[in-house]
A and B are shown apart, each in its own frame.
Chain A
Amino acid sequence: MGFFDNLFKSKEKRKNAQKYKLGMSKTRSGVFSNLKILLESSKVISDELFDDLEELFIMADIGVDTVIKFVGHLRDTVEVKEITSPFDLKEIIIEEMFKLYVKDEIVSSNLDIVKDRLNVILFVGVNGAGKTTTIGKIANEYINKGYKVLMVAGDTFRAGAINQLKIWSERVEADFYSKEAGSDPSSVMFDAIKYADNNNMDIILCDTAGRLQNKKNLMNELGKINKVIARECVGAPHETLLVVDATTGQNGLSQAKIFNEVTNISGVVLTKLDGTAKGGIVLAIKDELNIPIKYIGLGEKIDDLEHFDVEEYIYGMFSDIF
């Protein structure tokens, strides 16, 4: 029986997991598929096997510190439970990874969206991470659920950014608010909230310009945007989502830390997971900052978005073991 079988009792769950599996299929034929081969080809659980496991996890961009800690837990568990076969190790790995992510708390990937109030969601991240596309996808989700969604063009800097979001709003049939290019983003947010109030919006999705976390003036600008939103709308932003590209290395952790200093990052969106990168840095982000992953992006199309489910994520990574 085992942990893994318990996870997938319901058919529904299995169906969703299939989507993860497809989107991440290339992932599996990359490094992690070697996990199956590695475990199958090892006769005993040895130091060498643990070294090889470290290698696999590091190649997933999980990050040296988290990997060393994780493999340390594996070693302890193996000792305590007296596991001798590498094949049994697979269940331990999944279990430990689950524990690492969840940390005995209830982790939800739902957004803090409440009826009868104006919900503000702020999207932040470095250049090229996929904020605008993600907003399009999330807008689509909530429009389909019957909410009135306003998309706000907070990137007033990058060429074509406003129009890019506008086209998305037309695709999903959401409302759209913008000011002219070059406007102060804080003033855009200010006016957008007024507009949303006057037009009975349920959710505002605010796009911001991509920015590198080491640019002090840009981080200050973001802090200001955050303050303005908070001032104009009680409890806002209700969610601040950090959009992280799955190909990002250790810098992802630095992004999370520093963006979290000027805003209250409530969740991560891990994009471009349909590539060969595993996006393991989000595990390090959860481990060190306790910021959960809310969504994963699996492509450029409008419904290439999934709520994050750690079990499905692990399944997508490991499913060729089974």
Chain B
Amino acid sequence: MAQSAQPVKKRKIKGDGAWGYAFIAVALIVYALFTAYPVISAFLISFQEYKPLGSTYIGFDNYTATFKDDLFWKSIKNTLVYTVLTVPVALLLSFLVAIMILPLRKKLQTVFKAVYYLPVVASGVALSLVWLWIFDPMPGGIFNQFIGWFGAHNQNWLGSSATAMFSLVIMAWLSSHGASIIIYLAALLGIDDSYYEAADLDGASFLQKLWHIVIPSLKPTTLFLLVTAIIGSFQVFQNAYLMTGGGPDHATTMVGLLIFDNAFKYFEFGKAAAQSLILALIIALVSLFQFKFLGKDVDY
């Protein structure tokens, strides 16, 4: 019995290998065609002046033109401003909310999780339309009514270059925390009770426990959320596209929107491809930087 099992097992492994390839075949074909090929193609296009019938190679012209383009730098600046204003606030809000949900009964926890997650489920196009009207510049506009209670004057929220970016930021604050609250809560529930017990024996206060136990334990979660939020924020373009079109005076033109405009408004595919690769490089560098400096004692 034992003697005959050996060759049988060997044959199975060989057979399994073939099944392995068969099972991933469709995934690999889809990947090769719709991800790998486009990435390689993007590299090639970025060195071309693209024309449907016969493109010409123009070396690094698309890249040098991009670096000389004031609008490109402005879009980088806008993207950074948007990221710096939205990501930390959204993360902090999520963290605080998760901490507050933690001591509640299970049922109540579920209710709040669902409530905060609901905007994530709604389509981005629908939400952008609603916010468009909330920011209506007329005195009757909802947001103007709201700031009126505090004695502030009417603002032309999306129509003025002074407030347009801020308006998009407010929208992000109130609609981008659904997933991170749930992830934070799951991480909080995963912290071993023995840490708290030891701290209680030492007479630690709530804030001490928060600082010495919770925040260090949640570091991997924070890093994960931070990296994914920044990657997402660097690519953002849909709200700006639908609500301001990048205006007024390019005040809300983010890199993602600039690339979109170059590609599908001006049909400068070469330039768009070059800019998208620069964006990819920036995202890669920023992610690497975060893992290196924030993730020192986080092991994955």
- Whether A and B are associated in the same complex: the answer reads no
Q: What residues of chain A have their CB less than 8 Å away from a CB belonging to chain B?
A: none
